[in-house]
């Protein structure tokens, strides 16, 4: 079994950068243009600037600056802090890969790796959202489970009390929330819960249906399948999504 892992930097409890954001900064350094960098990194211009802004806020120092004049008439470049962050991440990434390689060679871990392999989650639900349980509220035979997603937005799942016990759920527990794409709906209303706001990064339409890929700020990507009678938002547009609590399936980590 191959060991894989992801490396993230955090600063004072705030997510700073992972491989995607570092790739964006490297593309800015290589191209001198945030629009070209965003395209090379596979994200919209707004998403790229939002990522840079989030990193600036996390560090308290600008990582990207605009340059004026020069042969190309100016552009965008990394500050010294930005260059230091990219260099540090790349160095730690190398050490992280060495660490994973050493773990993979440790034969004493093989029984645990085999257990992890058998428990690997496979599901047809394309939305598999990592979350932590923020609150559990009992309602007769059911429990309302408030979930905290990466980026700060919340979802509420409604499951039976027996399911809560079987999954050993408690505040702070790690779970995956599974939501099929047709269960994610566009809404112009302001529901009391389960309204998620994000930016459309991809929109596709056929003769009978449409599909949206919506990026939540500093959070996961959601896929929504729309009916043929629903207007298709444009890429870069901010939209509100809604999921019924009963249509969220929880898997304990």
Determine if residue 32 is left, alpha or beta; phi over 0 gives left, psi from -120 to 50 gives alpha, anything else beta. left
Tokens 């994000």 belong to 198
Q: Is residue 131 within 8 Å of 179, Cβ to Cβ?
A: no
Which pLDDT score, from 0 to 100, does residue 73 have?
47
Q: CA–CA distance from 120 to each of 78, 99, 110, 117, 147 (Å)?
A: 40, 22, 15, 5, 22
Domains and CATH numbers, the chain: 9-114 (1.10.10.10), 127-252 (2.40.50.100)
Which pLDDT score, from 0 to 100, does residue 101 have?
80
Which pLDDT score, from 0 to 100, does residue 228 have?
66
- pLDDT tens digits, 81-107: 999 999 999 999 888 888 778 776 766
pTM over cut 0.85: no
CA dihedral 243, 178, 235, 152 (to 10 degrees): 80
b/e string for 64-90 if b means 16 or more Cβ within 10 A?
Answer: beeeeeeeeeebbbbeebbeebbeebe
Max Cα separation, the chain?
A: 70
pLDDT below 70 — which residues of the chain? 1-4, 13, 68-74, 104, 106-123, 190-192, 207, 228-229, 253
Q: Is residue 241 within 8 Å of 186, Cβ to Cβ?
A: yes
CA Rg value for the chain: 21
Token pair for residue 253? 């980590």
Say whether 159 sits in a helix, a strand or coil: strand
- pLDDT tens digits, 18-61: 888 999 999 999 999 988 998 888 888 888 888 888 888 888 88
Which pLDDT score, from 0 to 100, does residue 191 have?
61
Tokens 């039976």 belong to 160
66 closest CA partner among 32, 23, 26, 31: 32
Which pLDDT score, from 0 to 100, does residue 245 have?
92
DSSP H helices in the chain: 19-31, 34-41, 45-59, 80-104, 110-118, 161-166
14 closest CA partner among 50, 56, 45: 56
Helix (H), strand (E) at residue 223? strand 221-227
Q: Is residue 176 within 8 Å of 253, Cβ to Cβ?
A: yes
Which pLDDT score, from 0 to 100, does residue 106 have?
64
Tokens 């120092």 belong to 61
Q: What span, in angstroms and rounded, lies between the C-alpha atoms of 147 and 133?
A: 5
Token pair for residue 219? 């959070």
**Phi/psi at 237 (nearest 5 deg)?**
-80, 140
């Amino acid at each position: 079994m191959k060991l894989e892992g992801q490396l993230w930097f955090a600063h004072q409890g705030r997510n700073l950068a992972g491989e995607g954001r570092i790739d964006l900064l490297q593309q800015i350094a290589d191209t001198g243009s945030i629009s070209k960098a965003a395209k090379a990194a596979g994200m919209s211009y707004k998403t790229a600037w939002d990522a840079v802004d989030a990193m600036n806020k996390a560090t308290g120092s600008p990582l990207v600056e605009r340059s004026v004049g020069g042969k190309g008439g100016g552009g965008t470049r990394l500050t010294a802090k930005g260059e230091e962050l990219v260099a540090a991440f790349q160095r730690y990434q190398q050490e992280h890969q060495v660490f994973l390689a050493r773990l993979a060679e440790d034969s004493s871990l093989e029984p645990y790796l085999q257990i992890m392999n058998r428990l690997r989650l496979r599901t047809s639900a394309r939305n598999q959202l990592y979350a932590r349980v923020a609150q559990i509220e009992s309602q007769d035979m059911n429990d309302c489970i408030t979930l905290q997603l990466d980026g700060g937005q919340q979802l509420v799942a409604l499951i039976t009390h027996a399911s809560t016990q079987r999954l050993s759920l408690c505040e702070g527990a790690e779970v995956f929330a599974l939501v099929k794409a047709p269960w994610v709906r566009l809404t112009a209303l302001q529901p009391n819960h389960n309204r998620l706001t994000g930016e459309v990064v991809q929109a596709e339409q056929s003769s009978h249906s449409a599909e949206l890929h919506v990026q939540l700020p500093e959070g996961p990507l959601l896929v929504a399948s729309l009916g043929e009678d629903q207007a298709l938002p444009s890429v870069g547009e901010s939209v509100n999504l809604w999921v019924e609590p009963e249509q969220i399936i929880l898997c304990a980590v």
